[in-house]
Structure 1
Amino acid sequence: MITLRARPCAPPPGQLCESPVWDGNELRWVDIRRGHIHRAALDRARLDLVHRATISLAPPVSAVVPCESGALVATLGDEVVRLDEDGEVTTITAIPLPDDGIRRRMNDAKVDPLGRLLAGTMSEDGVEGSAALYRIDGDGALATVRAGVTISNGLGWSPDGATLYYADSPTKRVDAFEYDLTTGTVGAGRPFVQFETGEPDGLTVDAEGWVWVAIWGAGQVHAFDPAGQRRAVIDVGPSQVSSCVFAGPDLDVLVITTAKEGMAADEPDAGRLFMCVPGVVGVPGMRYADAGLVGSDGR
């Protein structure tokens, strides 16, 4: 069993930090309520982050991923947008949210092994079964992958791409689904791990197929092998641990995001990013295959 304590990083705390992604050179993450997309360099020797820049958009901005073209894709409100290198923002697709008075917004998003974006919604008030998980293809085509969820959250694939790990947070469970890489569709599912304390939030998968899960409300990240056996516990500190990703040239640094939104009591370093070196390595992050959205000039 791996047991570690993560250490806080230098960038100042955010309100609701989420969606860390390593693009091969830099770390990016969002502060959802403030509409910020941050980027930072990794100082491996000091095990720290050096903040480089921030993009500000109309909040909420819930996730960010890199594109093959060099642009970024972000989820905000009820839209999926593309941010080109000149800062221009264009809408890829709008999610058809029902007009039923339930407050919904986009939430976590990840790119599958063939470059398609999976992005989910959530109910701001926890209305059961009112959200969904969607797939956005490289040409912007939208399809529903799962309906009837409440808070669509952590997404990650096994190293062979055949299994999708997925968290609908209020179930307190991460499920494992058969995933058809050819079509980008989800097949039969099964419970993978159940949590008694806290709720599963963002997650990532390492090169050995271990699933690393940020546990909102528990102040920890847990790792599970493909059989669902717990193999690691990372103590973070702040209770609201929101997501994690492997970063650095060797993908051996686990970066963890936290939040301070809605906390009843003050917690030192809540809202900061944290790091540790757990002795395993991640897999390279995928880029959204946006060739169907750009012209011959790459814009």
Structure 2
Amino acid sequence: MKAEQISDVCTFHGEGPFWDPRRNELLFVDMQEGDVLVCGADGAIRRHDVHERLAAAVRARESGGYVIGVERGFLFADDTFSTLETGPTAFGDTGVRMNDGTCDTAGRFLCGSMGWDGGFGAGTLYSLDTDHAVSTVLTGVSISNGLHFSASGDTAFYNDTPTGRIDALAYDVGTGRFTDRRTFAVVEPALGTPDGMAIDVEGGIWTALYGGGGVARYGADGKLSDLVHLPVTNVTACAFGGEDLTTLFITTTQENIEEGSEPQAGALFAVETGVEGAALPMFRG
């Protein structure tokens, strides 16, 4: 499969795409600009500045508006991003920043961190509960990425990018804690390293390939089943969207690319997959 460019270059470091079914629009972030971008049905992109340094991930709130992972904690926004409310701080270490996140089926928002310098083991996976309490659910992470849950909610799929693996973690939805961890799939080094991910209704995991110019699908058995090709080396994340959730939207970055060498880096891409993506839970806090 080949993805097509659907926007101008609109980000330096595009990340965290999320299809909002309430407005039928794609949201994603220009991470280190601290901006949330909204791609409308007409393809026009609206940019909202939400943080002075970093916006890592955005998810819808059942009560309206959004929860956003920002540099060292959380932020709440209304539907138009014109009203911003500072949420809890997760940590104080200025050498660490948030990187990627999603919601579990109980409505918690989980967001993971990494060192600004990418240092080994500097990151942590945090959980923002519906009462806005913050807790630690995983430590010793290097680059926290690609968290998604199975439809039943009892399995989390997770990328700690430098490991080159997609892990499956048994998850207790009631307590919000992991109980076991195993390797779901190994991403061959020639393909790149696993970054953000999406999940389809067949249990397939689609992972962006940073450094590999594509997205790989691994079936429910953990075996490579499809590859999506892009004309950009550093592919960061993907999300299902569109009217029937069969379009895979893909973000890219200009990060670690020689200036001018890849003129499409930082644009948004899409591909019709022929498989339906799983609907994502919202934050219930």
TMscore range, shorter length: over 0.9
CA distance in 2, matches of 1:122, 1:163: 23
Alignment of 1:86-101 (within 5 A): 87-98=82-93
1:255 corresponds in structure 2 to 249
Deviation at 1:41, TM superposition (A): 2.0
Which of 279, 289, 292 is residue 274 of structure 2 equivalent to?
Answer: 279
Alignment of 1:202-221 (within 5 A): 202-221=196-215
2:160 corresponds in structure 1 to 168
1:229 corresponds in structure 2 to 223
1:31 corresponds in structure 2 to 30
CA distance in 2, matches of 1:286, 1:159: 9
Find out whether 1:54 has 2:47 as its counterpart.
Answer: yes
The alignment's C-alpha RMSD in Å is 1.4
2:5 corresponds in structure 1 to 8
State whether residues 11 and 50 of structure 1, in contact with CA within 8 Å, keep that contact through their aligned partners in structure 2. no
SS of 2:28's partner is: strand
CA distance in 1, matches of 2:151, 2:223: 17
SS of 2:162's partner is: helix
Equivalent position amino acid for 2:48 in 1: I
CA distance in 2, matches of 1:77, 1:156: 21
- Give the TM-score, by structure 2 length: 0.94
Once the two structures are superposed, what CA deviation does each residue of 1:90-133 show, in whole Å capped at 9, x if it has no partner?
Answer: 2221012347xxx2101101011121101011112122111100
Where structure 1 has 5 or more consecutive residues not aligned to the other structure, the ranges are: 44-48, 291-299
Once the two structures are overlaid, the 10-residue window that deviates more, 269-278 or 6-15, is 6-15
- Give the TM-score, by structure 1 length: 0.89
SS of 1:42's partner is: coil
Once the two structures are superposed, what CA deviation does each residue of 1:10-67 show, in whole Å capped at 9, x if it has no partner?
Answer: 2433100000000111110000111111111235xxxxx332x221121211111111
Give the count of matched residue pairs: 278
Which of 140, 150, 154 is residue 132 of structure 2 equivalent to?
Answer: 140
Alignment of 1:57-68 (within 5 A): 57=50, 58-68=52-62
Where structure 2 has 5 or more consecutive residues not aligned to the other structure, the ranges are: none
Deviation at 1:155, TM superposition (A): 0.5
State whether residues 259 and 271 of structure 1, in contact with CA within 8 Å, keep that contact through their aligned partners in structure 2. yes
CA distance in 1, matches of 2:91, 2:134: 10
CA distance in 1, matches of 2:195, 2:25: 23
CA distance in 1, matches of 2:105, 2:35: 27
State whether residues 6 and 274 of structure 1, in contact with CA within 8 Å, keep that contact through their aligned partners in structure 2. yes
CA distance in 2, matches of 1:84, 1:151: 29
State whether residues 159 and 208 of structure 1, in contact with CA within 8 Å, keep that contact through their aligned partners in structure 2. no
1:150 corresponds in structure 2 to 142
SS of 2:44's partner is: strand
State whether residues 127 and 137 of structure 2, in contact with CA within 8 Å, keep that contact through their aligned partners in structure 1. yes
Equivalent position amino acid for 2:105 in 1: P
CA distance in 2, matches of 1:23, 1:229: 30
Identity rate, percent: 35
State whether residues 206 and 238 of structure 2, in contact with CA within 8 Å, keep that contact through their aligned partners in structure 1. yes
1:79 corresponds in structure 2 to 73
State whether residues 13 and 269 of structure 1, in contact with CA within 8 Å, keep that contact through their aligned partners in structure 2. no
1:238 corresponds in structure 2 to 232
